[in-house]
Structure 1
């Protein structure tokens, strides 16, 4: 059977009879007896990688609604525009007040390296015009970096007409939205990997999400919920804490893991933990009681000022000057635990 190819422009708008540039005949007709199936598509490789990603994100990310202060409810749909079509299918919205001439590789140096490596991970906001063009009112720098780095662009768009005030309010609402925790991301990554039958490396390559970011999320998921229950922030604790707990828990035996579960449960029945810092201290104590080991070498040294200097002496020895707040004993302990 001949492979059916679908253009990326067709993927960007699934309204029958419309193409990406406006009303008209579909760019490539889809046979009703051949509905799109993600797994078949991956197996048959009927679409180039960028177009597979566009279809995948269009299918998975869906629709959101934003409630404005004037009681208007605005619908946003999230799509992915493949790298080769970002410049042709997007423009900067008149409501975007940033000077376009000031958006350069130098002015975007804070986000450009990340986008060059991992692509755009935060969606731009846009209105979709009758001409099929997506007018970006929040995300002009992300659009520039996507074009500059030859990466695709995540876009959440509405087909409704917005006043400049409404566009500004929506931008404010989206930017106040708290990002997902490592745990939330990890659950999503794991679920998608299981559904698609992909390894971590394959999933990273398919989605454009960095392997490191996926690894952090999966590490967070492997921490049992009874540990998160100790923390007032629950699964929203920070990455350094999650990575430390993940390593400590992984090194426990099955018997020690059960003992920790029981200890956490007993403590939560009778005590309210006031802060995440207090929870970290308690967890270290519980682990020390169970393993018989003091994990003080896992603590991060707090360096208040200064820097390391290293000099090579003629006898082959090194002379190290330590920064304020880090004594020789702590430094030697840190070196012992380097992996």
Structure 2
């Protein structure tokens, strides 16, 4: 119970906040004061009337699976202890802090209490506010990386990002690497917070391996999806065991794909050998489609080829 009191104190009675009637006034990182009032969103309206901008909230929404949220779903079905924080954008409330509670409310079909401001917050104010009042599980390395990637896209160097976020440059690098893992691969894991930096390195190397072999992540995911679904449904496996087994399936399938030639890879057959390497005459076959390709041949040869092909088609193909 002591932890709960500490959390409430950190959210609502910290020096940067004041009370004003039924509202709560919060001092932002810019020094600007904004007022928040409490609202209740009905269960059937949570998905439609609220949204999450990942570059503000910092939480990877694709990682919020029902299994990863089971701890919140269990309690939220009966009571919501802390309201989420949001700002109104037209008819939608953008959730700055509490996206796990929002997703859980959608899963268990209950309403959601929100502290919402009518004031427009800048991206920097929104990010810092979400960071300051964040009460749920710490953001994963990938989620941190996604936030840092947005800063990098805005023109900041990794050194500047490290200084701004008070992180080591090594952690910035690791976080950005974690954010580079394909969303399709990440979707295989029911509880993505179980992934360590070593696991992210394995996934990144798998992506590079597939790229070198001219195979796709989508192909790998499709091939192992049935096995992954079975692993997710096994009640005898702990969350970290499910993760380990999925990683094994990914590595195993990557090796198998590396041994198989890609489906329908074009087969090219030279039709003539020229002394000039820039000239060629060849046939290309890809599945049931074939074509003839020529380069730097005289115009009269092109005309002759057209005539012969037309003649063959007329004689051999019936209407």
Task: Report the TM-score range of the alignment, normalised by the length of the smaller protein.
Answer: 0.3 to 0.5
Relative contact order, higher structure (CA 8 A, sep 6+): 2
Structure with more of its chain in strand, by fraction:
2
TM-score by length of 2: 0.34
TM-score (norm: length of structure 1): 0.32
